[in-house]
């Protein structure tokens, strides 16, 4: 017995060692060799049943060693398939006891990874075929080829799994092309015989079709029944001939190149001898004073009561959006059919000329078309939603001196209303304010204005009883801030010597540049005859106005405080009245008549012993000047001789004196360049005994 156990241990050891050595071969060779060793071990178990437990454990160890030749799931490649299959086959041949001794998680994970690799490879292969189909879609091909290419590609794409779809790199193109084709087919579906309507002689078929589809589509006729269309125009069979029917095949091409072929069966009826008239249909809301676009209703048609034929072809003039005009209507009686939006109901339909209308009734008073006459129809709708409230406008405060244009711009352009559902709407407002009305408003003050009648939103009707569709607003022109102006008048320059009485100009006023209002009330202080003071002038920009005598002209006008003056300009530098500040104005005028000559004074001889007071009394009080017109003027002169100066004169002797500056007559300005307005005087102090022997002294 002891020998037998030793023999068994030796066998197991040899088996294990031989498999370990095989690990240095290729993975496939290794597992195949391991498979053989396991088979041998199992045979040993068959020959020696009592060694079964030991052999099972040995087989399990051999299998687990074999299993680790299989790569982890994350590293499995397609080349590992044979190894994985050998290991799986070996496992399946193990006994139930042996299977319980091993963990095949690694094998299962590897098998799953291998299956995923194969599936991914197959997905790529399938997706690549769809990519190729999408690439073959070409708008430049014929309409049939284009549709087939899109249809096939879309069908194959829809068969794919989500994983396979994710591998289709150009699926966006397919989506776009499929959408383009669908849109074109939907557009083509609008083209039906009933939509085209009755075709008569001279109708341009392409135009009739184009009117049914979008502007980004063009129509090309590919084929038409023989004789139905000539040079693009419908040829109607003559009276008594049979109607002409057949298939019309057309091509619709969108601006992006999308094409679709479309076929319809058309019939052109033979001409009949019919009297015809016209109808003009107008659409209103609430009353015939409130026009609304005819497009508010849809599917408008007139149905002949005798023939049941439908007529729906007409036009809306560009300048009458509420009107639909229908021509060439066979004479007879008609019912009126159309669809209105859900919130609308038909209030009434009026038939006939203005002031002669009757109420339409399909049974007792239908529409009657008369030969060569226009029958007028007025459809009046009313909404279930009605006006509940007109929201008041807030008061508007504007500057008292606002201009007309700015005032009109400041008026509210919209208001608010509330409908019967409690929903608020914005409505546009207009105001009829004329310039002459604006000028007559009291400013400052308050003015109440009413807007023009506004239009309610399309889906809202007026209440019952009706409200006036207008809004009022209180416009407030507040009291302006005010200040003062101090105006001074000068001649030639602003020197204090050149002040002249303000009465030398007339009609003085300040005119507000915005309001055009004129201000002229002011006063002249008794001790400042050259000044004109104006109080309570509203803030703003002003122009200066006054009249001068014929011989006088304005030299310039200075604005501002002393040493900060600027030159007045009515456009670029007007007088500005500012709150809390006095606006200073210096008006400088000049005469066209100028100083030519100052006449010299004759020598004055006085006794050497003359007193100071007598000396002053002897000094001349006036002299003469000659102006540029040759006129002689007398001007007053004064002298500034102080007692100490008089005492210092050398007597007997001669003294030269110069008068103080004199004033020119108001009508005479200084020359250019200016002359000094003074005059010299030679004074001789004569001795009683020797009046001729004197010395000259200048002061």
Write a three-state SS string for 658-693.
ECCCCCCCCCCECCCCCCCCCCEEEEEEECCCCCCC
Q: What is the mean pLDDT of residues 293-307?
A: 93
**Would you state the pLDDT for residue 24?**
45
Q: What is the mean pLDDT of residues 449-458?
A: 94
- pLDDT of 351 strictly over 90: yes
- pLDDT of 303 strictly over 90: yes
Q: What is the mean pLDDT of residues 26-30?
A: 64
User: In this predicted structure, which of 104-118, 286-300, 571-585, 595-609 has the lowest mean pLDDT?
Assistant: 104-118
Instruction: Go through 299-315 and write b for each residue having 16 or more CB atoms within 10 A of its CB, e for each that does not.
Output: ebbbbbbeeeeebbbbe
**Would you state the pLDDT for residue 695?**
47
Order the strands of the 217-223 sheet from edge to edge: 217-223, 244-254, 259-268
Q: What's the Cα-to-Cα distance from 58 to each of 8, 20, 99, 164, rounded to whole Å?
A: 11, 13, 12, 46
What is the C-alpha to C-alpha distance for residues 679 and 452, in angstroms, rounded to an integer? 78
Give domain 276-383's CATH architecture.
Sandwich (2.60)
Q: What does the pLDDT look like over 535-560, one tens digit per residue?
A: 999 999 999 999 998 889 999 999 99
What is the C-alpha to C-alpha distance for residues 153 and 171, in angstroms, rounded to an integer? 10
Tokens describing residue 92: 């399946």
Instruction: Go through 323-360 and write b for each residue having 16 or more CB atoms within 10 A of its CB, e for each that does not.
Output: bbbbeebbebebbbebebeeebeeeebbbbeeeebeeb
Spatial contact of 454 and 470, defined as CB atoms under 8 Å apart: yes
- pLDDT of 463 strictly over 80: yes
What is the C-alpha to C-alpha distance for residues 69 and 690, in angstroms, rounded to an integer? 162
Q: What is the mean pLDDT of the chain?
A: 88
**Would you state the pLDDT for residue 545?**
97
Distance of CA 565 to the CA centre of its chain: 46
Do domains 191-268 and 482-591 share one topology? The answer is yes
**Would you state the pLDDT for residue 690?**
52
Tell how many helices (H) and how many strands (E) occur in the chain: 15, 37
What is the C-alpha to C-alpha distance for residues 67 and 102, in angstroms, rounded to an integer? 10
**Would you state the pLDDT for residue 699?**
43
Higher pLDDT, 198 or 447: 447
Rg of the chain's alpha carbons, rounded to an integer? 58
What is the C-alpha to C-alpha distance for residues 604 and 655, in angstroms, rounded to an integer? 10
Q: 């003015």: which residue's tokens?
A: 447
Higher pLDDT, 258 or 54: 258
Spatial contact of 618 and 604, defined as CB atoms under 8 Å apart: yes
Beta strands in 292-407 (DSSP E): 298-304, 310-311, 323-330, 332-339, 344-351, 358-359, 367-369, 374-383, 387-390, 396-397
Q: What does the pLDDT look like over 218-242, one tens digit per residue?
A: 999 999 999 889 988 999 888 778 8
Q: What's the Cα-to-Cα distance from 231 to each of 221, 224, 225, 237, 253, rounded to whole Å?
A: 11, 12, 13, 16, 21
Q: 């017109």: which residue's tokens?
A: 629
Tokens describing residue 16: 């294990």
Instruction: Give Dmax over CA atoms of the chain in angstroms.
Output: 196
User: DSSP string covering 535-584, please?
Assistant: EEEESEEEEEEEE--TTEEEEEEEESSTT--EE-BTTTB-EEE-TT-EEE
For 615, phi then psi, to 5°, come to -60, -45
Q: What does the pLDDT look like over 102-134, one tens digit per residue?
A: 899 988 988 898 888 887 888 888 888 899 999
- Residue 693: which pLDDT band, with cuts at 50, 70 and 90? very low
**Would you state the pLDDT for residue 483?**
92
Domain boundaries, the chain: 1-102, 121-187, 191-268, 276-383, 387-477, 482-591, 595-686
User: DSSP string covering 441-468, please?
Assistant: S-SSEEEEEEPPPPPPPTT-BPPSSPPP
- pLDDT of 3 strictly over 50: no
**Would you state the pLDDT for residue 10?**
39
Spatial contact of 517 and 536, defined as CB atoms under 8 Å apart: no
Spatial contact of 234 and 245, defined as CB atoms under 8 Å apart: no
- Residue 618: which pLDDT band, with cuts at 50, 70 and 90? very high
User: DSSP string covering 478-540, please?
Assistant: PPPPEEEEEEEEEESSS-GGGB--GGGSEEEEEEETTT--EE---B--TT-TTEEEEEEEESE
**Would you state the pLDDT for residue 32?**
66
Q: 């309409």: which residue's tokens?
A: 143
Q: What does the pLDDT look like over 482-522, one tens digit per residue?
A: 899 999 999 988 988 889 999 999 999 999 998 888 999 99
- Residue 14: which pLDDT band, with cuts at 50, 70 and 90? very low
User: Of 1.10.10, 1.20.120, 2.60.120, 2.60.40, which CATH number belongs to 191-268?
Assistant: 2.60.40
Higher pLDDT, 36 or 550: 550
For 372: left if phi > 0, alpha if psi spans -120 to 50, otherwise beta; the answer is left
What is the C-alpha to C-alpha distance for residues 225 and 246, in angstroms, rounded to an integer? 5
Assign a CATH topology to domain 482-591: Immunoglobulin-like (2.60.40)
Instruction: Go through 42-56 and write b for each residue having 16 or more CB atoms within 10 A of its CB, e for each that does not.
Output: bebbeeeeebbebbb
């Amino acid at each position: 017995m002891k020998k037998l156990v030793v023999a068994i241990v030796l066998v197991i050891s040899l088996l294990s060692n031989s498999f370990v050595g095989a690990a240095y071969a290729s993975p496939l060779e290794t597992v195949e060799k391991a498979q053989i060793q396991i088979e041998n071990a199992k045979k040993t178990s068959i020959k020696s049943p009592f060694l079964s437990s030991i052999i099972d454990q040995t087989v399990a160890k051999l299998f687990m060693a074999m299993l680790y030749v299989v790569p982890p799931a994350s590293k499995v490649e397609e080349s590992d398939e044979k190894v994985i299959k050998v290991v799986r086959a070996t496992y399946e041949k193990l006994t139930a006891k042996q299977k319980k001794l091993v963990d095949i998680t690694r094998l299962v994970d590897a098998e799953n990874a291998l299956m995923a690799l194969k599936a991914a490879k197959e997905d790529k292969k399938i997706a690549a075929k769809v990519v190729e189909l999408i690439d073959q879609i070409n708008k430049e091909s014929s309409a049939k080829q284009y549709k087939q290419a899109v249809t096939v590609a879309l069908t194959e794409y829809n068969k794919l799994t989500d994983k396979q779809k994710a591998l289709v790199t150009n699926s966006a193109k397919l989506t776009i092309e499929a959408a383009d084709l669908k849109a074109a087919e939907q557009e083509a579906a609008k083209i039906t015989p009933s939509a085209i309507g009755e075709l008569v002689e001279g109708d341009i078929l392409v135009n009739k079709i184009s009117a049914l589809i979008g502007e980004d589509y063009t129509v090309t006729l590919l084929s038409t029944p023989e004789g139905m269309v000539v040079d693009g125009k419908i040829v109607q069979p003559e009276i008594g001939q049979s109607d002409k029917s057949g298939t019309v095949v057309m091509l619709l091409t969108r601006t992006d190149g999308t094409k679709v072929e479309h076929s319809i069966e058309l019939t052109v009826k033979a001409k009949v001898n019919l009297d015809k008239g016209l109808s003009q249909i107008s659409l209103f809301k609430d009353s015939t004073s409130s026009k609304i676009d005819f497009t508010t209703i849809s599917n408008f048609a007139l149905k002949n009561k005798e023939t049941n034929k439908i007529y729906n072809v007409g036009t809306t003039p560009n300048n009458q959006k509420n009107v639909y005009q229908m021509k060439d209507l066979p004479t007879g009686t008609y019912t009126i059919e159309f669809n209105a939006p859900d919130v609308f109901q038909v209030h009434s339909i009026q038939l006939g000329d203005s002031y002669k209308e009757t109420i339409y009734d399909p049974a007792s008073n239908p529409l009657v078309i008369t030969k060569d006459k226009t029958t007028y129809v007025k459809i009046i709708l009313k909404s279930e939603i009605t006006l509940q409230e007109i929201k008041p406008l807030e008061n508007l405060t504007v500057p008292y001196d606002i201009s007309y244009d700015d005032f009109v711009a400041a008026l509210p352009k919209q208001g608010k209303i509330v409908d019967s559902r409690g929903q608020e709407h914005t409505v546009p407002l207009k105001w009829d304010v004329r310039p002459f009305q604006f000028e007559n408003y009291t400013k400052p003050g308050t003015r109440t204005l009413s807007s023009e009648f506004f239009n309610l939103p399309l889906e809202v009707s007026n209440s019952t009883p009706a409200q006036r569709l207008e809004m009022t607003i209180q416009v407030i022109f507040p009291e302006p801030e005010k200040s003062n102006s101090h105006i001074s008048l000068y001649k030639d320059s602003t020197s204090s010597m050149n002040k002249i009485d303000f009465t030398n100009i007339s009609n003085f006023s300040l005119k507000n540049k915005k309001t055009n209002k004129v201000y002229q009330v002011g006063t002249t202080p008794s001790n400042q005859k050259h000044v004109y003071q104006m109080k309570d002038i509203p803030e703003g920009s002003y122009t200066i106005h006054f009249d001068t005598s014929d011989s006088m002209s304005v030299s310039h006008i200075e604005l501002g405080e002393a040493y900060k003056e600027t030159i007045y300009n009515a456009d670029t530098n007007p007088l500005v009245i500012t709150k809390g500040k006095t606006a200073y104005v210096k008006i400088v005028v000049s005469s066209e008549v100028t100083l030519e000559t100052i006449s010299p004074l004759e020598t004055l001889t006085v006794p050497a012993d003359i007193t100071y007071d007598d000396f002053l009394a002897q000094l001349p009080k006036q002299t003469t000047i000659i102006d540029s017109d040759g006129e002689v003027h007398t001007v007053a002169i004064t002298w500034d001789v102080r007692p100490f100066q008089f005492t210092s004169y050398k007597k007997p002797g001669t003294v030269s004196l110069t008068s103080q500056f004199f004033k020119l007559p108001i009508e005479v300005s200084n020359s250019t360049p200016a002359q000094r307005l003074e005059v010299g005087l030679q004074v001789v102090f004569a001795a009683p005994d020797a009046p001729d022997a004197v010395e000259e002294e200048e002061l």
